Amino acid sequence: MTRKSLNRKLRLIYVLFAGVLALALAAKLGPHVPEANRAFPLALANDIYEFLRDMAVLIITVAAAYLANVFQKRSAFVDSLRQEWRAIVQTKSALIAFCEKQFPTTEDYLSAYRAISEAIDNMRIVYRNVGETDSLVGLYPYAPLHDMRRALMTLDPRQTSKHAPPDRDLVKDAVLQTFYALRENFLDELDLEEPTTPLTASVSRRMKTSGTTNPARREQKQQIEAYERAQSARPDVDALLSDLYYREQAADHARAQTTGRVEGEHVRRPQAPPPVAEDATRRATGRKRSG
């Protein structure tokens, strides 16, 4: 269900609800207006109001079910639209990759042609043709896909055994141009919004500095002390991981000092492992070096 169809159905619901509320209000207040009372019998007004009040739950239930069905169709349509767009993006990438190959084979061409052919035909499960009737085929809703197909067909290895690089570059530019035109119109149906915190700077960098809060640092310290008190099955592994962590933290701290952004974090070097673990680590390192 397109956005246009959704808005049309929602307007219908709004008009019907407004009509029902206006009728209920007129039936309720009509007896208190002398002119309306003479034109509209009091008994009939009371009957209409009582009927609408008794049927209020049913009316709301039917309207809610109808709205749920409408939004469910809209959600399914948007999901299909997103799947089709992902297929189109993959197709564009396949065509560009084919054009970038210096010596494309027939298999490469058939793979790219299959991608564009599937993207064209899968559009049928999303949109019908523009101007299609019971007797007229109509127009394909997004002609740039066919432009991509026709441009690709000029590089068919079965027709010409060799294509010059300028020919492939021209086809690549044609694919990109048609893809950009398709993107401007195809994505409009998805109701995309601007991000809340966009990052539009071309030369961007991280603005936060390394570090954490004191409670988080205390919790980390407590966990480290708990690990040091507990007996480890592989002290050599613990020593290796601790030393690597220290080296990484020290390198980050030195880099921060060089760039003038010192975080001021306290990097605590791990405790030295037991002698047995040191010997095991040294022997493992020696075996690796000797190998």
CA 188 to chain centre: 15
Where does the pLDDT of residue 209 fall: very low under 50, low under 70, confident under 90, or very high at 90 and above? confident
Least confident of 162-166, 235-239, 261-265: 261-265
Q: Is the confidence at residue 103, as pLDDT, over 50?
A: yes
Amino acid sitting at position 197: T
What pTM was estimated for this model as a whole?
0.67
As a whole number of Å, the CA-based R_g of the chain is 35
User: Which residue pairs from 270-274 have beta carbons closer than 8 angstroms and sit at least 24 positions apart in sequence?
Assistant: 270/239, 270/242, 270/243, 270/245, 270/246, 271/228, 271/242, 272/239, 273/235, 273/236, 273/238, 273/239, 274/235
**Do 87 and 119 contact (CB within 8 A), yes or no?**
yes
Where does the pLDDT of residue 113 fall: very low under 50, low under 70, confident under 90, or very high at 90 and above? very high
Amino acid sitting at position 5: S
- Residue 182: per-residue pLDDT: 95
Q: Which two tokens stand for residue 4?
A: 């246009």
Q: Is the confidence at residue 281, as pLDDT, over 50?
A: no
CA distance 191 to 212: 38
pLDDT tens for 61-78 read 998 999 999 999 999 999
